[in-house]
Each structure stands twice: as C-alpha cells, then as structure tokens.
Amino acid sequence: MNKNSKVLALKYRPISYKDLIGQEIIAETIYNSIKHNRSPNAYLFTGIRGVGKTTIARIVAKSLNCLNGVDKLCREDLCENCEAISNSNHIDVLEMDAASKTGVDDVRDLIEFSRYGPTSAKYKIFIIDEVHMLSKQAFNALLKTLEEPPQYKSGGGLKFIFATTEIKKIPVTVVSRCQRFDLSRVNSNELFKFIKEVKNKENGKINDDALKLIVKISEGSVRDALSLLDRALLNDNEKSELDLKKAQEIFGYFDKSYLINLIRFLFKGDEQEVIKIYRSIYNQGVEPKIFLNDFLEILYYIKNISSIKLDGNNFSLNDEEFKDIDLISKQVKPDLLLLFWQFTIKTIGELDIVSNQNLSMEMFLIRLLYLKEDKNFDSIKELDLNDERYVNNISKTELVNINKDENNLDTKNKTISQIKNFMQEETSNPETNIEKIEIKNFEELISLCNKKKELKLKYELETNVSLVSFTDKRINISFNENLDKDFVKDLSQKLYEWTSQRWIIAFSKEVGQASKKQMKDNEKVKIIENIKKGETYKKVLENFSDAELVDLKLEEDK
C-alpha cells in the first residue's frame, strides 16, 4: 500500500503476493519457482487492463532481490531494494514502456546494458510494459539474450518480465522463450468485497447497490473499480449515502430497466412509447453504440434467461430486472429474438457511415416495430435467419407477401424456397394484371426492359450478366462481382409484374457466354482489324502517317 498517494488505484496497489486478489494460483506458482530457485529467464504476463500485470512484475522483481528473501518478503518496513523497486528507481531494475521505445536501437541499448552485472542487487531485471508495441526487428534482437541471458559474479543473472494486453501481437518465437501467465478477470463477488473494504477504510458512505454497479462497469478490472470508487467518494454526501440512482448519474450509466421497458413496448408494437423511452435514454448522454451493445445484452438475457443463475457472482441483473426479463422471454418467440439480434449487429456496422447517429437509432427501432407485427411473424420462422442475403434485404413487403399465400401449401413452399435463394419480392397480385407478357429468350428480356424504361436492369443485363441458360421461367447466370447487389431481387420483382408468374434466377458455377457489351466490343475489335487490312485505311496512312483508327460506330448503335 502506498500511504502517501491520494489516488486509490495507487494507494491500495498490492506490494506482496498476499495482497493480490483474483490471481492466487499464479501468485503461488511464481512464489514456488523463486523459493526453489527455478525461476525462468523471462516472465510473460497477459490479460485485460487493470488485473495486475505490472504490479505482479514488480512483486516478482522484489521477490528476486529482497534482502530478507522471498519467504520474508517486505510488507511494512521495506528493505532498501524493495523500497527502490516500489518507487521505480532501482538502478538494477529497469522499467521500460515499449509504447514509447519501440525500435531496435532501444533494444540494442538494453542488451548492451545487460552486459554489466547488477550494482547492489542479486538480479538485474528488465520490466517491459506493453511489450507487443515493439517492432519485429526489436523482437528479433531480443531472441538470443532471452534464451541465454548472461550470468553475473553475484550469483544471479538477467531476468526479463513482459506485460501485455495483446498477446497475439507478440511473435511465437518470443512467447516460446517465456513462462507465460494469463491473468483472468477478477470475480465479481471477490471484487465487490475488496472495494467494500476500501470504502470502509476511506470512511465512504456508499450503499451496496452502488458498489455492485461499480463492479459491473469495471468488468473485472481492479484498477477500473478503484478509479470509479474514487469518483464516487468525491461525490460523497455527509448526510446521506450514495445510492444506485445517484451512482448511475455520476458514471453516465443508464438504468437497464429503461431498456427492458423499451423492449417490452417494442414487442407490443407501441411506437410512441418506444421512441419516448429511447429519447429519455439518449438525453442521459448514452452513445448510440453503447445503447446498441446494451440492447444486444438484453436480447441475450431474454433468449437465455432460463440458463442464467442470479447469484452473488452475477451483478449484471438485479432481482426485479431478472423477473421482468423472465416474463418477457415467455411471451416472445426465439425466432424473433434472433432476427432482432441480426438487425442490431447490422446497425452497429452502419453507424460509422451515418452523420446523425441519433436519427439512425430511431429509424432502427421503427424498423424493428414493423418486423414485429404479429400477422407477419408467423411465416418468418420458416426462413433461414442465418442467410446474410435475407438479413440484408428483408423488408415488410416481403413478409406481407409471404403471408398472402399461407393457405396454399405448394405456393408457400415454392415462395419460401425462392426467397431463401434469390430474395424475390412479390409486390402485385396476378389477378390484377391485365397484360400478360411472354418472354421466350434473353434478347426479348433485354428488349422488354428497354420498352418498360427499366434502364438500370437493361444496363446490368447487357454489361454484367453472363448467360448460362434461359429456359422456362428459369435463368441461370455466372457470378459477376460487378453485378448490382439488388439485381436478382429487382429482376425477379419485375418479371413477376410483367408475366404474372414466378421466375427463378440462379447463379451457376458454369462459365456463361460473354455479356452483350463484351460481344459488341469483340465485334468492334474484329471489324477494326479488318479495316486496317483494307486498301482504304492504307491510303489514309499514306496521306496522314500519324492517323490511327481507335473506334467505330456500328449501325445498330445509332
């Protein structure tokens, strides 16, 4: 404990293995290795922020160099070495931040410094924080020294202690030369007891619900929990203790009951209440991305509430929230929850390209309201919810039209099959079509698009479609990455309107014939080559030596 510090995260920083919380097994392993003189050349500590990586690194350094030995490691009256290491000013224990010293030259200086033995301690120790920030060349320069560190006359040697939050960025050649320790998130119940003890030592007036909120927000990080507790103590009122509502205002954390109520009205189809609650949440300063992630969290709880236990180790839900979610889960079909989940994930990805994220969020909620209509949802469950094309293209119109054929089993199965593969959209009733058009071949289809002023479809058919086969109500085409993503849906819709029959447009693995545009370009090239071989072109070159035929206009292009 640093009694001189006013910041709780530093004041209550562990100074020995007994002070560590949540990492007892790792602490015991390291203690035994040092006690039996079997410590590795390099330690590698990895884990999320605030779980004790740098703290354990310093404790290891003190264990190796403490004048009293590891069994009597200093806790109160620190020896010369332990005090210097705790204050980060020991001449033989060098702490380096790899984020600011990433180059190979910095590592070379380190290796050069390692040639000289320790001055006052037994071991020379290099602690490198955020070691994943080192460059590839810097890591390579370390390899030989890591594997065979120098031995000194003092009887000790050189030890490396690495700390990182991103273990995947460290080369495997480095990891294999270290003894790796993965520090876990601190258990919620254990972290709650710890910050409650700190609160009592600081004579703070904060109730248990507010402390549980701190534990939840900190996500298993001790440093985060102490920093949040520090903020709560600064807002401490001598007359009354800090409660949950006040703590939520301090930390900018909105009550989950708001979100549960929003979802309840969402399933009821009450647009006015949904928007009202969302605006209330937004006015509390909640960012759209945070809102969406919390929205996903509630969807997860609704789907899996039966397998979630409400005990002392889970502070994500209180008793009232647990009961509300349990009630909602019994009234909502799992298929709808999965559909909501997919749309929420998709919306998170779209937020970065929207200038006004708040408006986008309101439209997102309105879109979910339309999906929720009971009369439409019965047929959704028969669709493939994992089909990405379905998630990206589904609309209210599609759901309504699927439902129209509900009484006709053959038509319904056919419709669902086509939607799964090609996302066709029925927008008109065949009985209302007066004109019935027959399309016999691909050329007639292009001609009809031109006649109906569907110029976008005509362009795609001529430019980006490689035809494989054109048979009765079925068109097979080769896949072309330049093809518009809505082409199949748009063409299917128009074919249904024009012919009053359903068409199947399928992507084939076979190589189709060249597109109309490509055929025309090839024809132009052949004509140009023939013209260049003719007498007329040769006479032109005799009079104009720098002339060149680059293009021509075919009669049909006029």
Q: What is the pLDDT of residues 159-194, one digit of tens each?
A: 999 999 999 999 999 999 999 999 988 888 899 999
pLDDT at 404: 42
Between 534 and 52, the more confident residue is 52
pLDDT band at 389 (very low <50, low <70, confident <90, very high): very low
544: left (phi over 0), alpha (psi -120 to 50) or beta: beta
Span 407-434, average pLDDT: 43
> Rounded CA gap, 332 and 4, in Å?
56
Cβ atoms of 263 and 298 within 8 Å: the answer is yes
pLDDT at 315: 58
Between 310 and 482, the more confident residue is 482
Which of 243-247, 432-436, 474-478 is least confident?
A: 432-436
Span 222-240, average pLDDT: 83
Compute how many other C-beta atoms are within 10 angstroms of the C-beta atom of residue 74: 19
8-63 residue pLDDT tens = 988 898 988 888 988 889 999 999 999 998 999 999 999 999 999 999 999 999 99
With the CA atoms of 234, 238, 240 and 243 taken in that order, what torsion angle do they form, in degrees rounded to the nearest 10? 10
- Within a 13 Å sphere around the CA of 147, how many CA atoms are in the beta-carbon half? 8
pLDDT at 169: 92
pLDDT at 104: 87
Beta bridge partners of 97: 129
Q: Please classify residue 495 by burial: count the beta carbons closer than 10 Å to its beta carbon, then call 0-12 exposed, 13-18 middle and 19+ buried.
A: buried
103-116 residue pLDDT tens = 888 888 888 888 88
pLDDT tops 60 at residue 433: no
pLDDT at 516: 76
Q: Please classify residue 134 by burial: count the beta carbons closer than 10 Å to its beta carbon, then call 0-12 exposed, 13-18 middle and 19+ buried.
A: buried
pLDDT tops 80 at residue 378: no
Reduced to 3 states (helix: H, G, I; strand: E, B; else coil), residue 551 is coil
pLDDT tops 90 at residue 463: no
- The percent of residues in the chain predicted with pLDDT above 90, rounded, is 18
pLDDT tops 60 at residue 394: no
Cβ atoms of 123 and 155 within 8 Å: the answer is no
Reduced to 3 states (helix: H, G, I; strand: E, B; else coil), residue 477 is strand
Cβ atoms of 493 and 521 within 8 Å: the answer is no
Strand 179-182's sheet: what is its strand order?
A: 93-97, 124-129, 158-164, 42-46, 179-182
pLDDT at 427: 40
pLDDT tops 70 at residue 363: yes
Cβ atoms of 365 and 275 within 8 Å: the answer is yes
As a whole number, the mean pLDDT across the chain is 80
The letter for the amino acid at 86 is S
pLDDT band at 317 (very low <50, low <70, confident <90, very high): low
pLDDT at 396: 38
pLDDT band at 486 (very low <50, low <70, confident <90, very high): confident
Which of 5-9, 58-62, 213-217, 497-501 is least confident?
A: 5-9
pLDDT at 375: 36
pLDDT tops 80 at residue 239: no
Closest CA to 458 of 517, 500, 522: 517
pLDDT band at 374 (very low <50, low <70, confident <90, very high): very low
Span 273-280, average pLDDT: 90
pLDDT tops 90 at residue 445: no
> What's the 3-state SS for 10-41?
HHCCCCCHHHCCCCHHHHHHHHHHHHCCCCCC
Span 424-435, average pLDDT: 44
pLDDT band at 310 (very low <50, low <70, confident <90, very high): low
> pTM of the predicted model, to two decimals?
0.58
∠ at Cα 539 (537, 545), nearest 5°? Answer: 85
155 token code pair: 């009887």
Q: How far is CA 109 from the centre of its chain?
A: 39
pLDDT tops 80 at residue 401: no
> Rounded CA gap, 474 and 130, in Å?
59
Q: What domains can be seen in the chain, in order of their start residue?
A: 8-182 (3.40.50.300), 188-251 (1.10.8.60), 256-372 (1.20.272.10), 427-508 (3.30.300), 520-557 (no CATH)
pLDDT tops 60 at residue 421: no
pLDDT at 390: 36
